[in-house]
Each structure stands twice: as structure tokens, then as C-alpha cells.
Amino acid sequence: MTTLSSIPQRLSALRQAMQQHHIDACLIPSSDPHLSEYLPAHWQARQWLSGFKGSMGTLIVTLDQAGLWADSRYWEQAEQELQGSSISLMKIQTAASTQHLDWLAQQLGNGQTLSVDGDVLSLAAAQALQTALHAKGVQLRTDIDLVGQIWQARPALPVSAIYPHAAPFASTSRADKLLAVRQAMQQTAASHHFISTLDDIAWLFNLRGADVNYNPVFISHALISSEQATLFVDSSKLDATLRAALAADGIELADYQLAKSALSQLSASDRILIDPRRITLGLRQAIATDTTVISAINPSTMLKSRKTAAEAAQVRSTMEQDGAALCEFFAWFDNTVNRAAITELTIDEQITAARARRPGFVSPSFATIAGFNANGALPHYHATAEAHSPISGDGLLLIDSGGQYLGGTTDITRVVAVGTPSSEQKRDFTLVLKGTINLSMAHFPRGTLSPMLDALARAPMWQHNIDFGHGTGHGVGYFLNVHEGPQTISRSLPDPSMAMQEGMITSVEPGIYRPGQWGVRIENLVLNVAAEQNGFGDFLRFETLTLCPIDTRCIEHSLLSRQEVDWLNHYHQEVRTRLIPLVDGPARDWLLHTTQAI
């Protein structure tokens, strides 16, 4: 385990390695060869070297300085975890910021060298680095892993078993999915297609694993041609029955480490499709210079974002089970808080136990966030045994949690009253609720670029000169990653891949955060469904999938319009109708009480 006292020693060792290789600066991103959000321990180099445990951040070490670039979600966490490390926190507003490139351009000069491991650097990030440094005459070395040279007892690659995602949960065969990908390849005249993103591979081959915390994926690459599909993976993770089933579908297995070699063997007559946002520089460099490269989004990324009618039906059923588990949890919570000792750690234990009693549950979909009062103002707060708060007295408790089920992935945030919330807390809660409702009621033309919808959720808060620093919504997988592309409801610059299409599942999660006081976020998952076709176009709307009451004790009623009240009452009636057959006892009583019309 990384301890703060060991960080200066590790930085010193890195600087010694830098001097040996004539390196002036070393960049350590938060990534792996698959550009995953959640990393196996083997690739958590940035955390090992800095002590910062957030899921996103960029570390840069020079011979006399070290800085960690982290966005506003992690500022307070980073300030605590970097204490005593000699690493400076460099605050950026969003994860898409390029301020670290500007800093490098200022610090490094002609003839100096920046090192970064090309095997974990995205092709897009490499291109941005090269552009920023070229004008200064700075050399970029990507052929060396300096951290790997000094990382003693580095964790091995994960070896969890791979298993099929089978019917009825997987309603489309892997043969049909491969056919759809090959049809997309034909449209670009590609003879081959290479995939590294783990959720794309898991979706395409109808396989699941447990190599990455919270995401049911497995370490692998895939190379597809018109006639053949090769899965580069540790074959010991698959039993004989599964290996035979893959072979019957024309899928060959090859050792995980051979992916680069396979790319290097492509000929001058081959045309390979790669996604520059979803492949590393190291893999791109393995392709021979005379092989034609076609840059486009992975077809599987687009295909898996559009859930089929059968998948949508499974997700609805999963949401009912998840909602029933939450009823059990919240009934326990309301009957226990301020009567017995509860901490933020207790929340995670109880909510996971409630989900585990439900059919099809596999695991949490991310680490539960349970933040009481001031801790709720940290969007990515995580209680630990060393640092957590008791829940008692008056205030607001924010709980962001989710589950992985065979029939879908859930992600929900609710804020509930503890004791009596203040009038200011009620105002913030209601403004966030207005933002959630405003976006949830949206109708929009098919193909609308998802970032264009972001302002709908922010508008009620903007009217009160309030804003929040994170995105409003992210795509969600189908028993896959809880964060999935290509669509995002945020301030991101839109691109054509973000066009909203029927079947996409996206979160709606505006928030208000008052540092040192409290935080509010209300999150539901929504499904793009057909609304109406008329002379003005083909319109979509959102179907709210998440089924869990919203705490009316936290609402300032005077701030809600009649339309918003009607939406909330209709939502609560839907929640009651669909969950009542699945709960009994205290959970049933709690559901009936919390879904009363206001």
C-alpha cells in the first residue's frame, strides 16, 4: 500500500532513473494499455508514485519539481493525499483541460526531453503532446517505462476467470455482433479492425470477467478481419467449454502479449481501422508505415451504446430489482438513523447487502459514495476506515451507488434528510431537483448532439447564480462499464459521435456543492425512446429508468412549478406501482409513505 512517507523516496528513485536516461521530465498519466477509467493494480503507476487515489489525474515529475493536475471533483481529496509528498496540486476545472501541456511548454526548453510510457498514452494525447512540445524543440520519448523500472513488487496482471454473458440477458449473438462490425468496416473499406477498449471487447464477444474493479471486463485486445477474429487474452482464464464455443464462432485465441506483433505483421495491402481516442501510441506505432490506417470511432462503441428492445426490457426489470433493494435499505436507514450509531461506512455495507439479496446481482458498479453534510460537497468522496463521519443530528446525506446485474448496470444518487434539513439545504435540493426534472422532460430531434442538452439541467441553478463543475450525464453500459461513450451531457465540445440515438442510456445528475457545508446531487438513468415523427422531424424523449423515491422532506415547495409537481407525482406513482409487488414489511411501508403525492 502507498504511504505518504514513501512518496519522497519513490520520487527520488524516479529522478535517479531520469538522470541515467538523460530525461528532464516524466509524465505519468492515469491509464493503462486499454485506456480504462478503472485500472488494475498493475497499471496504477500514478497512484503508486504520488499517493493520490482519485481515478483521474496527471502527474509530471521534473528533476526539481512535481505537480499533479486534477479537476475540481478531486481538489480536497488531492490536497489531503498529497500532504508531505512535495507534489504540488495543480487545479484544473475539467478533466479535458490541457493546462499541463502549457506548463510543460513553459518549463522545458530546446534540447530537453520528456518521457512518457507510450504503452499507456492515448494516441490523441500523444498528438497533443507532440504539438505542444515541437515548437519548443523538446524531444518526446515514449519507448521507456521509467516508473516500471523502479516499481518494486509491482502487482501482477489479473487472472480472473472469463465467462459468457448468455441468453436471455445477451439477446444478440456474438456472430451477429461480429457481422455488424464487419459491415461497418466495409463502409470504410477496412480489411482489419483493432480494438483495445475492454468494454467494446466484452460486448462484441458476449463475454464478461472481473479483471477491473466494478467493471465486468477482462484484459484483452482483438483483431478482426473479414474472415477471422482473434482475441488476444490469457487463455487460462477460459475453460474448455468456452474455448470450444468461441472456436465454433470462428474466434481464435492468441496470447495477450502478441497483440503488438500481430499489428506489425499487417502488410502494405492491408487497411486497418483504429479509433485514435481508444488506442495507445505504443499500439499505433506497432503498425508498419506502409499499412494504410483508417481513423474512425470503433463501430462497437456506437453499436453497444444503442440498447436493443430486448436489452431495454432487461434493464427495466433490473431497475425494479435495484429499486426494491433501495427500498429495503432506506427503510432500514430511516428506522435507524439518530436511534443507533451509523457511519458513512455503514451505508456502503447495508446498501451492498440489500442489492446482493436481489436476483442477478453480481457486484457494485463503482465504489459507493456516502457523504454526510460537508463530505457530500466532495463529488468523488469515499469514506475509509481511517477517515469517515458518523451520521447523526441534522443535515443531508448524499448517497451515490450502483449495481452490476446480469440484466443491466445501475447508477443512482439520492440525498436524504437526516433530522431536520435547513431552509438553505432545502433550497439547494429543490434547485437540483428542478434541473433533474427539466432535463428529464426534454424532447429533442434524433441526432441532437448530447452536449447541447446540458444547459437544460443547469438553467434552474443559473437563475440563482449557481453552477456545478462536473458533467450532467454520462452513458451507461449494459452489464458493462458504468461510464460509457460516446454520448455525454456536459460542456464538452460536441462531435458527430455524440449524436443522440434511440436506445442510448444516459445519467441525469446535476448538483450543488457548498465546500465545508453540504452537497446535493440527484441522479436517475434515462433511456432515449421515440417521441413523435412529424413535419418538423423525428423526435426522441427520455424514459426515466431509475425507480426510487426522491425525498420530499428536502423540498422547498414554493420553488416548484405546477408542471414540476406533476412530474414528481407521476414519477412517484410509477415507482410505487412497479416496486410494490417486490417489497414487503418495513420496505413496503416506507415505499407507500415516500411516494405520496405532494
- Domain with residue 513: its CATH number is 3.90.230.10
Is 158 among the domain residues? no
Q: What is the pLDDT of residues 262-311, one digit of tens each?
A: 999 999 999 999 999 999 999 999 999 999 999 999 999 999 999 999 99
**pLDDT at residue 476, rounded to an integer:** 98
Is 156 among the domain residues? no
- What DSSP string describes 432-480? HHHHHHHHHT-EEETT-BGGGGHHHHHHHHHTTT---SS-SEEE--SSS
Asked if 232 and 143 sit in the same domain, the reply is: no
Residue bearing cell 414487503: 584
Is 155 among the domain residues? no
Asked if 139 and 189 sit in the same domain, the reply is: no
Is 207 among the domain residues? yes
Asked if 431 and 575 sit in the same domain, the reply is: yes
Last residue of a domain, one of 84, 117, 150: 150
Given a contact cutoff of 8 angstroms between Cβ atoms, the answer to whether 25 and 112 are in contact is yes
How far apart are alpha carbons 195 and 35 in whole angstroms? 11
Is 34 among the domain residues? yes
Asked if 247 and 186 sit in the same domain, the reply is: yes
Domains: count for the chain: 3
Tell whether the model's pLDDT for residue 1 goes beyond 60.
Answer: no
Q: Give the H/E segment covering residue 92.
A: strand 88-92
Tell whether the model's pLDDT for residue 74 goes beyond 90.
Answer: no
**Which of 90-94, 117-121, 343-347 has the lowest average pLDDT?**
90-94
Q: How many CB atoms lie within 10 A of CB 264?
A: 12
Q: How many CB atoms lie within 10 A of CB 69?
A: 22
How far apart are alpha carbons 292 and 270 in whole angstroms? 6
Rg of the chain, C-alpha, whole Å: 25
Q: What is the pLDDT of residues 204-227, one digit of tens each?
A: 999 999 999 999 999 999 999 999
**pLDDT at residue 4, rounded to an integer:** 36
Last residue of a domain, one of 303, 333, 355: 303
% the chain with pLDDT above 70: 99
Last residue of a domain, one of 259, 274, 303: 303
Is 401 among the domain residues? yes
Asked if 444 and 515 sit in the same domain, the reply is: yes
Tell whether the model's pLDDT for residue 2 goes beyond 50.
Answer: no
Asked if 409 and 512 sit in the same domain, the reply is: yes
**pLDDT at residue 496, rounded to an integer:** 94
Nearest to 563 by CA among 429, 427, 433, 446: 433
Tell whether the model's pLDDT for residue 497 goes beyond 80.
Answer: yes
Is 157 among the domain residues? no
Q: What is the pLDDT of residues 349-363, one digit of tens each?
A: 999 999 999 999 999
Asked if 282 and 350 sit in the same domain, the reply is: no
What is the band of 94 on the pLDDT scale with cuts at 50, 70, 90?
Answer: confident
Q: What is the pLDDT of residues 233-256, one digit of tens each?
A: 999 999 999 999 999 999 999 999
Helix (H, G, I), strand (E, B) or coil at 146: helix
Given a contact cutoff of 8 angstroms between Cβ atoms, the answer to whether 399 and 416 are in contact is yes
Domain residues for the domain of 212 are: 163-303
Asked if 29 and 49 sit in the same domain, the reply is: yes
Quick one: cell of 420? 431536520
Mean pLDDT (the chain, rounded): 95
**pLDDT at residue 3, rounded to an integer:** 43
Q: What is the pLDDT of residues 22-34, one digit of tens each?
A: 999 999 999 999 9
- With the C-alpha atoms ordered 464, 475, 445, 307, is the resulting torsion angle positive or negative? negative
Exposed, middle or buried, 166 (CB in 10 Å: 0-12/13-18/19+)? exposed
Asked if 210 and 188 sit in the same domain, the reply is: yes
What is the band of 72 on the pLDDT scale with cuts at 50, 70, 90?
Answer: confident
| pLDDT (mean) for 399-411 | 98
Helix/strand/coil (H/E/C) assignment for every residue in 229-266: EEEECCHHHCCHHHHHHHHHCCEEEECHHHHHHHHHCC
**pLDDT at residue 95, rounded to an integer:** 72
- Domain with residue 294: its CATH number is 3.40.350.10
Beta bridge partners of 361: 405
**pLDDT at residue 68, rounded to an integer:** 95
The pTM (predicted TM-score) of the whole model is: 0.94
| pLDDT (mean) for 545-554 | 98
Q: What is the pLDDT of residues 441-475, one digit of tens each?
A: 999 999 999 999 999 999 999 999 999 989 999 99
Tell whether the model's pLDDT for residue 389 goes beyond 90.
Answer: yes
Asked if 374 and 481 sit in the same domain, the reply is: yes
| pLDDT (mean) for 49-54 | 92
Is 138 among the domain residues? yes
Tell whether the model's pLDDT for residue 5 goes beyond 60.
Answer: no
Asked if 264 and 394 sit in the same domain, the reply is: no
Q: What is the pLDDT of residues 77-93, one digit of tens each?
A: 888 899 889 999 999 87
Asked if 448 and 547 sit in the same domain, the reply is: yes
